[in-house]
Amino acid sequence: MKILVIAAHPDDEILGMGGTITKHTKSGNIVKIVIMATGIFARRSSNLKNSFKYSMTEKEAQIAQLQLKQLRNDAKKAANIVGVSDIEFLDFPDNEMDTVSSLEVTKSIEKIIEKFNPDEVYTHSQNDVNIDHRIIHDATLTATRPTSKTSVKSVYSFEIPSSTEWSFKSMFTPNVFVDISKELSKKIKAMESYKSELRKYPHPRSKEGLEAIAKRWGTVSGFNAAEAFCLIRELKKKI
């Protein structure tokens, strides 16, 4: 089975479903990860902090490029830990995907689906405060719309700690739970590869925070630890 993970920024793939990715690769499934946006340039400074300043000095731009290279190296290391060698990086603007044509975003996903032919696709929840996450969710739904030639049988959305839970108007309400009791340690180890993205407790992107979230979904589903998903669409030929 082929699994396509469409994530906005480096680390989203691990935060959202690092344990589930590990289960897929352990089962022999082929997993491809696509990172849509750079995940760094919204910070607009050389110290990895968000800034309203839209311009960079030449020196800051050079440092940012080096940081982007490091971030993508971290993503490759994290992917390797969860058993994935196929990871692709696109160059959409970080936290500014609303400045790009939705058609362009959708077509980029369609091209990947046409080439990879996944059976299952995972992406962001629409219930999220991050604009990139919402845009990618909508584009993925369009790109995976059913046709007579579609390879995609199921589409799921995942949450991103420190982003999805802050969408108070429309909360993430999962209906699929994956037991990651044996894979949680791999998820934490993979997240540790992101040196610039891991935070200290009680931040949701801390090791303790991720463990607490996994255990929380475990209490909902009867597992020791779980990752939660929303099943968006499933196509069945046989019952």
> Which pLDDT belongs to residue 239?
83
More confident residue, 20 or 59: 20
Residue 203 above 80 pLDDT? yes
Helices (H), ranges, the chain: 12-26, 58-81, 102-116, 131-143, 184-192, 207-221
Do residues 35 and 193 lie in contact, with contact meaning Cβ atoms separated by under 8 Å? no
Q: Which residues contact 191 (CB under 8 A, 6 or more apart)?
A: 11, 14, 15, 18, 78, 197, 198, 205, 207, 210
- Please report, rounded to a whole number, the percentage of residues in the chain having pLDDT higher than 90: 81
Is the Cα dihedral 88, 92, 96, 102 positive or negative? negative
Q: Among 17-26, 33-42, 76-85, 171-180, which is the least confidently predicted range?
A: 33-42
φ and ψ of 186, to 5 deg: -65, -40
Alpha carbon distance 39, 48 (integer Å): 11
- Give tens-digit pLDDT for 91-102: 999 999 999 999
DSSP code per residue over 4-18: EEEESSTTHHHHHHH
Domain-wise residue ranges, the chain: 2-234
Domain 2-234 falls under CATH 3.40.50.10320: yes
pLDDT-based confidence at residue 44 (cuts at 50, 70, 90): very low
